[in-house]
Structure 1
Amino acid sequence: MGHAERDHALLSASGAHRWLYCTPSARLEEPFPDTTSEAAEEGTLAHELAELKVRNYFYSVEFGKRKLTAAINKLKKEKPWQDEMMGYTEEYLDYIKGVALAMKSTPYVAIEKRVDFSAYVPDGFGTADCILICGNVLHVIDFKYGKSPNGRVEAEGNPQLALYALGAYEMYKILYPIENIRMSIVQPRLSDGISEWECPLEELLSFGRYAKGRAELAIKGEGEYAPGPKTCQYCRARGQCRARADHDVKLAFSDNLGKLPPFISSEEMGDYLRKGADVTKWLGDLQDCALKECLAGKEVPGWKAVEGRGSRDWTDMDKAFDTLTKGGIAEDAVLWERKPLTLAQVEKVVGKKDFADAVGEYVVWKPGKPALVEASDKRPAITNKVTAAEAFKEDQV
C-alpha cells in the first residue's frame, strides 16, 4: 500500500497535538473533507523514496539494487518528483545507519510498520517510518520533509512519536525487555533538522495513561476547546469553529483599552504577540471559508465571490514567436531574456557535493534580515549585530 492510501484513524497519531489538547476538535472536524496540497504530495513521494532506500539497506536480499532502481525510476515519473529528494533521503538513511551501527548488536528493524496503540486510544493506529530495537532500547525514527524553519518538529514530548512508541512497545514487549525509549525526528531540509529525545519506559507509559483519558473525551466530542496557533493550524473546522472565532475576536477587539496606560510595556508587547498569533491566520481561514460558501451558491451577507484579475497566455508560443521572427523581429535580442540561474538553482543542477568542490570558494554567506520569533526557537538570539537601517536598506528607495 502506498503512503497516500494509508487509512486514517479518527484519533490519529499525526493529529494528536490537536485532539490531546482540544478534545472536541476530533468530532467537530468530521464533516469536513480531508484535503491535500502540493507540499503534502511532495512529502508523500519523498517518504516513499526514503522507505525504498532504508529497505534496500537492511533487506538487500529481498529488495536488492535492481528492485530499488526500478522502484525509484517509477517514482521519478510522478508529478511531485524533485531530483533533490535523492540527496535529502540519503541524509535520512545515513542517520538510520549511524544509529544502527552504534547499537551494541545488530538491531531488529521494522520499516513503515503499522502500529496499534488502541490500548490507549480507541481504534488508534498509525505507521511508524522506522523502528529499531536492540537489547532494552526501543528507538522510533520519523522522517519529516518540511523545509520551513518555523515548521521544525521537536522529538521531545512529541505526541505523534510517543503514540508510535506505545504501539511498538505493545507489539514487541513480549519479545524484548524494553526499558528505554528513544525517539528521533529527521528533517533533512533544515540545517538543524535532527531532534532526539530519550525517556524511561515508565515516562512513556505515564503519557499513555494521560492520552487514554484525553482520548475518552475526544471520542465522545467532549471536553474544553483550546483554540490557538498550534491546535488550530491543521484542524479542518478551523474556519467555522465558534470557539476559535470567540477567542480571536476577544483578542482583536478588546474593549478595555481605555482603562490602560497609553503606552504598552515590553512585557505586554510580548504577551500581545503571543496571544494574537492566530488572529491573522483565523481571518484568512474565515475568508477562505466564506469564499467557498459563496462559490457554492450560498449567501454570506455583505460579501460575494468575484473573478480575480486575469492574465493573458499564449495558446502556442512557438508558432507566435515564429510568426514574429518571420515578420522581422530579432528573436535573440527581443523575444528571449538571458539571465543566470540563482545560486540555489545551480546547486540543484550540479549537486551539493560537486557544487561545493567546484565553486564553493566563490560562495559567501550573507546573513538574513532580523526576524522576530518565539523564544523557544532553536536559533541563537542576535543583538546589535546589524542595525535596522542596514538590514532593510534594500527596501529603501
Structure 2
Amino acid sequence: MATDIKPVELKSVSASKLRLYLQCPRRYYYAYGEGIFQEESPSTRFGSYIHAVIEDYCKALVAAGVSRDMEKLYSAANSRKKEFPGIPETGDMSFFEADVFLNRFASKAINPETLYAVEKAFDIPFYDNEKVSLTGRIDRMDIISGKDISALHIIDYKTGKNELSEEELKADIQMKFYICAAFILYRKHHKNIRFTLAYLRDGNELSFETSRPEIFCGEIECLIRELASDNSYAKRPGPLCRHCPAIKLCKPELKNE
C-alpha cells in the first residue's frame, strides 16, 4: 500500500461511484478520497438540460392527464434555459440540437396513467449493521400491465453518441444498480423489472428484463464489500488515463501509442 494512500470512508454508493471504481480503483481514490473530480463537460451540461426539460414535461403531462402536448414541451424547454448559460444557441450540443432531441422524444405518446415516477431520488440503507446506503436518481419509471404479467419499467435517457450492445447492457453496472434499488423499494408490488436505455439522439432503445432482480443485489453487495475493504486502490493504466484529472499525481505507466 502506498504511504500516501488512505482508506476512503464509505457511507453511500451510487452507480457512478461503482462504475468509476470498476474502471480504475486509483481514480476512484483521487475522486472520493482527495476530491479531484472531472470538470463538467459540455456533453454533461447538455445532458443535464435535456433531463431537466423531460422531467418538467412528463410531470406536466401527468398533471394535465394528457399523453402529448408540444406547448408544454416548449414551455419546459424555455423555462429551463436560463439555468444553463453555458449551452450555445446553435452548433454541437446546443439548444438547437436539444430541440431536435426533445421534439423526437415528445413525438411519442406517454400514458400518464402508467407513468409511475420521474427523476425518482432514493437513499436506501443497504446493510442492517453498517451505515452504507444506495443513493441515486432514476430518470423515469412506468408500470407495464399485461394479461399474464406486470413489470416495473425503468427508463434511462442517454444523450451521448455511444450505444451499448445487448451483451454490454447485460453486464452494465448502472443497469444492475438501478434494478437492485427498484427491487428494494418496490419488491412488495413488483418482482419483474425491465430496464431500458433510451437513446435520444436517434430514438433507439435497448432493453433488458429480469424476474430475479435479487441476483443483481447480490452482485452489488459483493462489489460494495470489495470497495469498503480496499486500502490500496490499485492503478489500472489504460486509454482513460489520458483524460483523468489526477494523471499528474498518479503518474501511470502508459504504453506509447
What is the TM-score with the length of structure 2 in the denominator? 0.71
User: Is the contact between residue 143 and residue 153 of structure 2 (CA under 8 Å) also seen in structure 1?
Assistant: yes
User: Is the contact between residue 24 and residue 218 of structure 1 (CA under 8 Å) also seen in structure 2?
Assistant: no
Question: What do you get for the CA RMSD once the two structures are aligned?
Answer: 3.5
1:109 and 2:113 correspond? no
SS of the equivalent of 1:124 reads: strand
Q: 1:67 to 1:213 in 2, by over 3 A?
A: same
Deviations 1:85-138 (A, max 9, x none): 1231233345673xx59xxxx425100001235427923210110011235312
SS of the equivalent of 1:196 reads: strand
1:240 and 2:249 correspond? yes
Aligned position for 2:137: 127
Consecutive unaligned residues in structure 2, runs of 5 or more: 1-10, 88-93
Aligned position for 1:186: 198
- Which of 146, 158, 163 pairs up with 2:172? 158
SS of the equivalent of 1:140 reads: strand
Amino acid in structure 2 at the alignment position of 1:134: I
Query: Is the helix fraction higher in 1 or 2?
Result: 1
Amino acid in structure 2 at the alignment position of 1:144: K
- Which of 205, 211, 216 pairs up with 2:220? 211
1:172 and 2:182 correspond? no
Distance 1:119 1:86 in 2: 39
SS of the equivalent of 2:214 reads: helix
Amino acid in structure 2 at the alignment position of 1:152: E
Aligned position for 1:74: 79
Amino acid in structure 1 at the alignment position of 2:40: T
1:12 and 2:14 correspond? yes
Percent identical among aligned pairs is 20
Amino acid in structure 1 at the alignment position of 2:178: Y
SS of the equivalent of 1:137 reads: strand
Distance 1:231 1:160 in 2: 19
- Which of 2, 23, 33 pairs up with 2:36? 33
Per the TM alignment, residue 39 of structure 1 is displaced from its structure 2 partner at its CA by: 1.9
Deviations 1:191-222 (A, max 9, x none): 7x42221222x2x3222212212212323444
Q: 1:181 to 1:93 in 2, by over 3 A?
A: farther
Q: Which has the higher contact order (CA 8 A, sep 6+)?
A: 2
SS of the equivalent of 2:155 reads: strand
Aligned position for 1:146: 160
User: Is the contact between residue 54 and residue 111 of structure 1 (CA under 8 Å) also seen in structure 2?
Assistant: yes
User: Is the contact between residue 27 and residue 244 of structure 2 (CA under 8 Å) also seen in structure 1?
Assistant: yes
User: Is the contact between residue 116 and residue 168 of structure 1 (CA under 8 Å) also seen in structure 2?
Assistant: no
Aligned position for 1:84: 97
User: Is the contact between residue 156 and residue 196 of structure 1 (CA under 8 Å) also seen in structure 2?
Assistant: no
What is the TM-score with the length of structure 1 in the denominator? 0.48
Amino acid in structure 1 at the alignment position of 2:139: D
Aligned position for 1:258: none
Consecutive unaligned residues in structure 1, runs of 5 or more: 1-8, 253-278, 281-397
User: Is the contact between residue 141 and residue 185 of structure 1 (CA under 8 Å) also seen in structure 2?
Assistant: yes
Residue pairs, 1:354-369, within 5 angstroms: none
Per the TM alignment, residue 139 of structure 1 is displaced from its structure 2 partner at its CA by: 1.1
- Aligned residue pair count: 225
